[in-house]
Amino acid sequence: MTVPRQVLRGTTYLVTRRCAHRQFLLRPSKCLNGVFLFLLAVAARRYGIDVHAFCVMSNHFHLVVTDPDARLPAFHQFLDALVARAVNASLGRWEAFWDPNSYSAVRLVSPTDVIDKAAYVLANPVAARLVRSGRLWPGLWSAPELIGGDAIVVQRPKHFFDPKGAFPDTAALQLTAPPGFASADDFRRKLESALAEREEQAVREGQSRGGFLGIARVLAQKPTGRPTSGEARRNLRPRVASRDKWKRIETLGRLAEFVRSYRSALASRRAGDTGIIFPCGTYLMRVAHGVPCVGFT
């Protein structure tokens, strides 16, 4: 039985999705950057998702987001489906775009964990030995100084989108500070410090391992290409991240209790008890079947 995903209001996540067969289908280009950023802005507004940081690599993307209304799965489904359709159309391909097992939403337990993962996201291009600074990455990369500043206004791409369709002419994406920080400035300062530390370490490691690929070579890669190095298989798929051991244990304990309560409620419903109340964080049964759920009326 698939373990149910708990979706709670106000949770901050590190979200990751990888391309099928590790192909470079998200390789930076004017078309790709415009499509992804426009759809991210539209999806965030439609589903009320707060975006804090993002980085789109050639074969995967990372987001750090907060989900005030427990709508993350709908947001992710909308974004993934339209990015796949639009980019496939631009490449003239019909095959599966995303790795079917790659959707990951890791709950970030504390502000310290949010800083750690946001810095991880923004240091990705350096850690992958592609460029010496995230600011040099030709793909989508959210500069920390945009947090709490003016919204990023994105024009609707001319490719794929019907000018007379339902999508707006422009979409605005506002980068915000996550819960738990005194202000946007507070979050930005801490993120910049953590990012600088990660990038400095990644540069040292990159130099010792043969240097960096560079922008020209990144842009010259074919979308159907893929890394030559292998990738570990059957790794653990965490749902929680915390550097504090006891907070991690506590959060995992609550998640385990949710799973037990959910399965008990599901068994009761299958036995005919349509009034059984599902635990807080139930998503699919609540959205698809309208079951009563703690925290929702």
Q: What is the pLDDT along the chain (297 residues), one digit of tens a residue?
A: 577 889 999 999 999 999 999 999 999 999 999 999 999 999 999 999 999 999 999 999 999 999 999 999 999 999 999 999 999 999 999 999 999 877 899 999 999 999 999 999 999 999 999 999 999 999 999 999 999 999 999 999 988 998 888 999 999 999 999 999 999 999 999 999 999 999 999 999 999 998 999 999 999 999 999 987 656 555 667 788 888 788 888 888 999 999 999 999 999 999 999 889 999 999 999 998 899 999 886
Query: Is 232 found in the same domain as 258?
Result: no
Query: Is 263 found in the same domain as 214?
Result: no
CB distance 150 to 179 below 8 Å: no
Q: Which two tokens stand for residue 101?
A: 């097992």
Query: Is 239 found in the same domain as 253?
Result: no
For residue 103, the model assigns a pLDDT of: 82
Residue 167 inside a domain? The answer is yes
Query: Is 169 found in the same domain as 57?
Result: yes
Partners of 98 in the β-ladder: 19
Query: Is 257 found in the same domain as 230?
Result: no
Query: Is 206 found in the same domain as 70?
Result: yes
Query: Is 141 found in the same domain as 88?
Result: yes
C-alpha torsion angle, residues 117, 68, 141, 133 (rounded to 10): -30
Q: Which of 235, 253, 237 is nearest to 109 (CA)?
A: 253
**Structural domain of residue 234, as residue ranges?**
11-243
Burial of residue 266, with CB atoms counted within 10 A of its CB: 0-12 exposed, 13-18 middle, 19 or more buried: middle
Query: Is 199 found in the same domain as 78?
Result: yes
For residue 236, the model assigns a pLDDT of: 62
For residue 100, the model assigns a pLDDT of: 86
For residue 1, the model assigns a pLDDT of: 56
For residue 241, the model assigns a pLDDT of: 82
Q: Rounded to an integer, what distance in angstroms lies between the CA atom of residue 282 and that of residue 251?
A: 16
For residue 53, the model assigns a pLDDT of: 98
For residue 230, the model assigns a pLDDT of: 59
Helix axes 184-208, 111-122, angle to 10 degrees: 50
Residue 200 inside a domain? The answer is yes
Residue 6 inside a domain? The answer is no
206, 226, 243 - which closes a domain = 243
Residue 27 inside a domain? The answer is yes
For residue 138, the model assigns a pLDDT of: 97
DSSP string, 141-195: B--GGGTTSSPEEEEPPSSSS-TTSSS-SEEEE-B-PPTTSS-HHHHHHHHHHHH
Q: Is residue 120 within a helix (H) or strand (E), and if so which, with residue range? A: helix 111-122
Residues 6+ apart with CB under 8 A from 210: 129
Query: Is 207 found in the same domain as 148?
Result: yes
Q: What is the CATH number of the domain that holds 187?
A: 3.30.70.1290
For residue 238, the model assigns a pLDDT of: 78
Residue 140 inside a domain? The answer is yes
Query: Is 109 found in the same domain as 44?
Result: yes
Quick count: other Cβ atoms within 10 Å of Cβ 117? 21
For residue 3, the model assigns a pLDDT of: 77
Query: Is 251 found in the same domain as 239?
Result: no
Query: How many domains, in total, are found in the chain?
Result: 2
Strands 240-241 and 104-108: parallel
Query: Is 257 found in the same domain as 148?
Result: no
Please state whether the predicted TM-score (pTM) of the whole model is above 0.85. yes
224, 243, 262 - which closes a domain = 243
Residue 294 inside a domain? The answer is no
Q: Is residue 205 within a helix (H) or strand (E), and if so which, with residue range? A: helix 184-208
Strands 170-173 and 11-18: unpaired
